[in-house]
Amino acid sequence: GEDVEQSLFLSVREGDSSVINCTYTDSSSTYLYWYKQEPGAGLQLLTYIFSNMDMKQDQRLTVLLNKKDKHLSLRIADTQTGDSAIYFCAEWGLSYQKVTFGTGTKLQVIP
């Protein structure tokens, strides 16, 4: 079945780069997404990448996709305290025709 895995927790110092990793199993994935969730709020779309791309950069965010290993990463440059949140990766695949979310990675930014 479809499965998306993430590490549960990441702690970084303010100003450093953060790298959040994700692995997925559905080889028919066409779109892969990164969402951010702050306490008491819904999920905010950060960025997404089509499966025929290797990399996408959007200001402080860089997404890398290794389709062979089914590995997705989100790099946040110059991490700020306002980046503290839970980050979810998600994939939409032809097999299941729905968006499946990972378990979420809680990012803690230490001032």
Partner 1 sequence: KAGVTQTPRYLIKTRGQQVTLSCSPISGHRSVSWYQQTPGQGLQFLFEYFSETQRNKGNFPGRFSGRQFSNSRSEMNVSTLELGDSALYLCASSLDRRNSPLHFGNGTRLTVT
Using CB under 8 A, list all residues that contact partner 1: 30-31, 33, 35, 40-45, 48, 88, 90, 92, 96-104
CB atoms within 10 A of CB 65: 21
Distances in Å between the alpha carbon of 7 and those of 50, 65, 78, 105? Answer: 23, 17, 21, 6
Identity of the residue, 64 or 99, whose beta carbon is nearer to partner 1 in the bound complex: 99
Q: How far apart are CA 58 and CA 14, in angstroms?
A: 20
Identity of the residue, 3 or 54, whose beta carbon is nearer to partner 1 in the bound complex: 3
Write down the least CB distance from residue 36 to partner 1, Å. 11
Write down the least CB distance from residue 48 to partner 1, Å. 5
The pair of three-digit structure tokens given for residue 86, joined into one six-digit string: 């839970």
Write down the least CB distance from residue 76 to partner 1, Å. 19
Identity of the residue, 14 or 62, whose beta carbon is nearer to partner 1 in the bound complex: 62
Q: Which helix (H) or strand (E) holds 11?
A: strand 9-13
